[in-house]
Structure 1
Amino acid sequence: MEDVMAKYVRNIQGNKVELELVEIDPDDVVLDPTNPRVGFSMRQLGDAEAGDAACTLLLTSQEDTESLKRSIMLSGGVQEPIYLRHDRTVAEGNRRVVALRAAKEEHPDNPAFGTMPAWIIPEGTPEHVVQDLLNEIHLGSVRGWAPYEKALQMRALVASGLIEAEVAERYRMTTNDVRQHIEAANLMDRLYFPITQDPTDAEHRSKYSYFLEFAKNGRIQRHREAMPDLAQRFAGWVRDGRLDTGMKVRKLPKILDAKEAVRLLEVDGFDAAEEYLSERNPREQEMYLLMERARARLAEMSVVELVEAKHSPERLEILEALQQTVTDVLDNIERVAVRQTQRKAGGGRKRR
């Protein structure tokens, strides 16, 4: 049994939890197989394989764990306590455990790498209180929760027995926001990670915002009713890089409105689909979009702006030049149309 170095009563959402601070050997703790960085891969393993060794291997293979190990070695050990459940399973600090184990293996005679500080969460603490504790730790930490990890935390709170409205209150969100965050995480776990080459790659988790936009966008959700496989196809588009920015995901509803645009997205990519739409709708073309914005802005000029323009030769010159340019363009369009009509008529007479 470890010696208790200190005790601290922490108020967590109105629940008082007495934490005990101990020094513990990193080899005496058990890694959390549900850790967001490795959770998906661990769930794919059988019970016999999904142990501490597999979790260690998955965390060790990530580049940021190696950099954390170097940081720990430079600072002479782990400085910030991890959090352990009463059975010594890691609640928070899995990477620090793995990094310290590696440092200890490289320098077995250095006592700085033999133990690490840890807060012990007492037995009998309700799971939702543990999840609230982890949430508070990360909200107040420089590390913070990454968006995907935050969604998993919400999901864990719901799984522990809280209703979505209670979770929303903790995160200062609406109930619908919480539902959408959880749905986005579920979509990634169910449809995206399984089709990626390496589900543990941290780059995949950065795509979470795409799936959140997918879950939130009302126009996309309406398309799901007519396209039952839309979520699966969306996951494939993200994996293949056809949707590789948040802006493209936000523009997706316009593509879904046209079957040919969807086909072009899948065959030739997003730019081809967008070009097809711009040909059908001038307002999708950059030049016409700029003109439409300018027209709308001119139509909304206030009295003050009109008076200002009246007494400003420079402003009047710009407006008059714009008027003349538009007139010239319209005249040119008309002349081109007349020539094309005459050419067609002449060609028709020759054929006769």
Structure 2
Amino acid sequence: MKNNTLYDVEKIANAESIDVKLEDIKLDSYNVRFLHLPQKLSDKEIEEILWDEKDTTELYRQILSAGGVYEEPVLNSELIVIEGNRRIVCLRKLKQEANKGGLPGISKNHFDKVKCKILPKNTPPQIIDIFLATIHVKGKKPWNAFNKAKHIFNLYDSGGFSYDDLSKKLGMGKSTVIRAVEVYGATQKYGDKYKADKEWFRKFTYFDELYKRKDLKEFRKEDKNLERFENWVFHKKLDDVREVRQLAKILQDEDAFKEFEKNDFDAAMNLIGLKDPSINSVEFKKIKDTIDVLRNFSRKELSKTVKDDSRLKLLNSLKKEIDSLVKDITSMKKTS
């Protein structure tokens, strides 16, 4: 499909608005929230899931207070929700209450109809997908990271859009778009490979961390390493996403890596801690950070220190404390 599709989303914004009976509107079983689930959900199941989402109750209160929705839901020609599923769920609940006379000051039929934008019958799916991306990927109602990445992946995987297209339309850096595609693709590949992991989509954060870290860039270039990573995640060698942030340290230490393969993450990090006390000690972490500051002391700061005795005094105090600490430790070692 031609890339000028990127600009045809205006057709959705300018779609005709009409009153629709709430009972005729169907929730979208192909909503990005549900695509990772093994089976298609019924309308009732979708309603229950959306009603249980943490922000839905607040949206319900907002609609009740306003007496209606601020933004019109968008439906396709078959009256399936394209955008606004949670609003429809809230309106259904309000309609039930109103019909029973349970909303003081509001007529029984107040929520029986809702004004919606109706898309032309032959609206291309790519236009709808870009429209949803402008709202939920980079817009004012963002999806969670997994759903954002999934939607960007689907847009790219459809073959209709390049990385440059998506970067421009979504207002995101090209590298961010590429990472979203790579991370979701890797997560989906993991899910396809390890079907026993029914919660595979929750491992998205592990792959997101893998592709985020610069110190793992070389590691993830090789397919065999990605396969090893998948295996570690599935077999819980990496049992917490925060452990991925320390993985490079293990990979760079041959002994630690052997310990990781033989036992687990904690055993490997304990071995590294014996070689580098800054790993497990807050005090030595600060000392190591101080050493890094001194090693990278800028010429600008150096020039200021030459002209400022208070700065030199502070450095001399640091040297004095270090010399005293080393002297005490050396003395204790001789007597121990």
Residues 260 and 268, structure 2, Cα contact 8 Å, conserved in 1:
yes
Residues 33 and 51, structure 1, Cα contact 8 Å, conserved in 2:
yes
Residues 27 and 46, structure 2, Cα contact 8 Å, conserved in 1:
yes
Between structure 1 and structure 2, the one with the greater Rg is 1
Match of 2:32 in 1: 36
Match of 2:16 in 1: 20
Distance 1:186 1:71, change over 3 A: farther
- 1:184 is displaced (CA, Å) by 2.1
Query: Structure 2 matches for 1:1-352, cutoff 5 A?
Result: 13-15=6-8, 17=11, 18-41=14-37, 44-45=38-39, 50-108=41-99, 110-138=108-136, 142-165=140-163, 166-173=165-172, 177-189=176-188, 191=190, 210-217=206-213, 218-222=217-221, 225-226=224-225, 228-234=227-233, 240=239, 242-244=240-242, 249-257=244-252, 258-259=256-257, 262=260, 266=264, 268=266, 274-282=269-277, 284=279, 285-297=284-296, 302-309=301-308, 312=309, 314-336=310-332, 338=334
TM-score by length of 2: 0.74
1:159 and 1:303 map into 2 onto residues whose CA distance is 53
- 1:239 is displaced (CA, Å) by 9.3
- Aligned to 1:13, the other structure's residue is in SS state helix
Residues 190 and 200, structure 2, Cα contact 8 Å, conserved in 1:
no
- Aligned to 2:36, the other structure's residue is in SS state helix
TM-score by length of 1: 0.72
- 1:91 is displaced (CA, Å) by 0.9
1:183 and 1:303 map into 2 onto residues whose CA distance is 44
Aligned-residue identity in percent: 23
Distance 1:137 1:286, change over 3 A: closer
1:56 and 1:127 map into 2 onto residues whose CA distance is 23
Residues 154 and 178, structure 1, Cα contact 8 Å, conserved in 2:
yes
When the two structures are aligned, how many residues end up with a matched partner? 310
Gaps of 5+ in 1: 1-10, 341-352
2:277 and 2:314 map into 1 onto residues whose CA distance is 25
- Aligned to 1:322, the other structure's residue is in SS state helix
- 1:82 is displaced (CA, Å) by 0.8
- Structure 1 stretches (4+) deviating beyond 6 angstroms? 192-200
Q: Which amino acid aligns with 2:62?
A: S
Residues 134 and 170, structure 2, Cα contact 8 Å, conserved in 1:
no
- 1:318 is displaced (CA, Å) by 2.6
1:178 and 1:265 map into 2 onto residues whose CA distance is 37
Cα deviations across residues 223-258 of structure 1 (Å, max 9, x unaligned)?
Answer: 763462312533675995x225xxx54333223443
